[in-house]
Amino acid sequence: MMIDMSELDGKGFSCLEGCGMCCLCQPELTSNEMKIFETDEYLRNGLTREHVNGRRTAKPNAIKLQGGRGACYFLKNRLCTINEIKPHFCRQFPVHIHVMRRIQLNVNLSCRGITEGGNNLRAYAKTLMSYIPDSRLADELSLAKNIATEFDQRCRSAGIYQAPERLRSITSKLMPMIKREDGIAKLLAYADGEPEIGDLAEEEVANQINVTAPAKDIDEIARESNYDLFNIDDIAKLPVYVDEKLRWIVFQSFSDEIRALILEEDGKVEPLMNIRKDDIELAQRDPESLNIFADYASLLNSRDPFMGNVASICDLHDYRHDLMTVYVGVLGTNLLDLWWRASLLARIKSIKTIDGCLAMESIRAYDMDCLDALTIGSFI
Ligand code: SF4
Ligand code: SF4
């Protein structure tokens, strides 16, 4: 079976001792894993029916979080106490298997164990894939393809269809623009203008986007969008960033401020810093960071979960907007959220200009949220 692993090329991986960041995600067990967990009291005690996403299953099939919002029940002093039999969900990290029109492997760049250079991530992923029976992959793929076909049909009926290859090809022509200071503001303004696209030539669509006047109020757009993202009571659902000291930092918004909190294994939090919402402005980006942001835009453009996220947003809006404008709008919003996240980190670290290092840190602080976004297709 053909599986797209190109995102893994040239990447190495080595899990960092004392990190444990991925143990803040609630693992769900497969039916085979359930059989093992149900036979042992220690393992059984770690299970729950209550899922962090609000679901409640008939039988306990997820692992509890300590204090209902901290790390996995089985994590002690940042070490997994059931390493030999940890669920497939945990073994996969930082690789994700996405199924839509094909199977594609994605890398969670929030993991600090990922390195540029080397190729062992591909070898690691091949081993992971060998544990999944071909018949299961075929079943998941057939199901996901049906959903993707239905989505295409709905788009065609609404007159908004654009082929995925065309969306990607036009977007790839925008990368020089995205490297410029006002590139993101142009993407947002173009999507907002909702132009008729139909079957215009690719070059012409890219040119229209290039010459769009940039949106003027992106500071405010970024502030509101991110403020909403952090405006969640349940700490288990907040974005997490593991910093250079391997501290787990969560961000939560309260009335007119953002609080950075250090999350502990048992779910307790310690305040790190409170920042007034209005004090966070989009910081200047140096040329290296602009290149890194543009590389991230290319990565999103190649990811099937991103395409699936665009599709789910299109569905949410009842197929009213041309797929190209939704695609460009979602890309612009993601890049703006990333820029704002970098600006928040700059504020916390008392840095004025976003450089290459900070741009990489912001991707670590952001990629997990991006991969968690709603998508048609599914992660298995
Ligand atoms: S996030 Fe990455 S480095 Fe950290 S514990 Fe998980 S796999 Fe290891
Ligand atoms: S089972 Fe182990 S690896 Fe998996 S989340 Fe829990 S502590 Fe982490």
User: Tens digits of per-residue pLDDT, 58-98?
Assistant: 889 999 999 999 999 999 999 999 999 999 989 999 999 99
DSSP E strand boundaries for the chain: 3-4, 11-13, 47-48, 62-63, 75-76, 79-80, 95-99, 103-107, 114-116, 240-242, 248-254, 257-263, 269-276, 378-379
Q: Distance between CA 240 and CA 260 in Å, rounded?
A: 10
Quick one: which atom of ligand 2 is closest to the CA of 90? Answer: 4
Tokens of 38: 């149900």
How far are the Cα atoms of 23, 226, 240, 247, 330 from residue 270, in angstroms, in the given order?
Answer: 19, 22, 14, 11, 34
From ligand 1's centre to the CA of 13, what distance in Å? 9
For ligand 1, atom 5, the nearest C-alpha belongs to 20
Q: Distance between CA 75 and CA 73 in Å, rounded?
A: 6
- Which of these, 117, 115, 93, lies nearest to 105 by C-alpha position? 93
* Tokens 């199924």 found at: 99
Ligand 1 site, residue 15, Cβ cutoff 6 A: yes
Q: Distance between CA 67 and CA 52 in Å, rounded?
A: 12
In this prediction, residues 162-183 reach a mean pLDDT of: 97
For ligand 1, atom 2, the nearest C-alpha belongs to 111
Q: How confident is the model at residue 347 (pLDDT cuts 50, 70, 90)?
A: very high
Q: Kindly identify the ligand whose nearest atom is closest to the C-alpha of 79.
A: 2
pLDDT of residue 328 exceeding 80:
yes
Q: How confident is the model at residue 254 (pLDDT cuts 50, 70, 90)?
A: confident
In this prediction, residues 274-295 reach a mean pLDDT of: 94
> What pLDDT was estimated at residue 118?
75
Q: Which of 11, 13, 14, 16 to mutate to test the pocket of ligand 1 (most atoms within 8 A of CB)?
A: 16
Q: Which of 72, 79, 81 to mutate to test the pocket of ligand 2 (most atoms within 8 A of CB)?
A: 72
Q: Which of 24, 76, 79, 111 to mutate to test the pocket of ligand 1 (most atoms within 8 A of CB)?
A: 111
- Which of these, 12, 25, 67, lies nearest to 372 by C-alpha position? 25
For ligand 2, atom 5, the nearest C-alpha belongs to 23
Q: Kindly identify the ligand whose nearest atom is closest to the C-alpha of 112.
A: 1
From ligand 2's centre to the CA of 23, what distance in Å? 5
> Is the distance from CB of 334 to CB of 80 less than 8 angstroms?
no
Write down the domain spans for the chain: 3-137, 147-219+281-379
> What pLDDT was estimated at residue 322?
95
- Which of these, 91, 112, 111, lies nearest to 33 by C-alpha position? 91
In this prediction, residues 172-188 reach a mean pLDDT of: 96
pLDDT of residue 117 exceeding 90:
no
pLDDT of residue 119 exceeding 80:
no
pLDDT of residue 103 exceeding 80:
yes
Q: Distance between CA 348 and CA 187 in Å, rounded?
A: 28
Q: Distance between CA 101 and CA 303 in Å, rounded?
A: 12
Ligand 2 site, residue 75, Cβ cutoff 6 A: yes
Average pLDDT, the chain: 94
Q: What is the pLDDT of residues 6-46, one digit of tens each?
A: 999 999 999 999 999 999 999 999 889 999 999 999 999 99
Q: Distance between CA 166 and CA 197 in Å, rounded?
A: 12
Q: Kindly identify the ligand whose nearest atom is closest to the C-alpha of 92.
A: 1
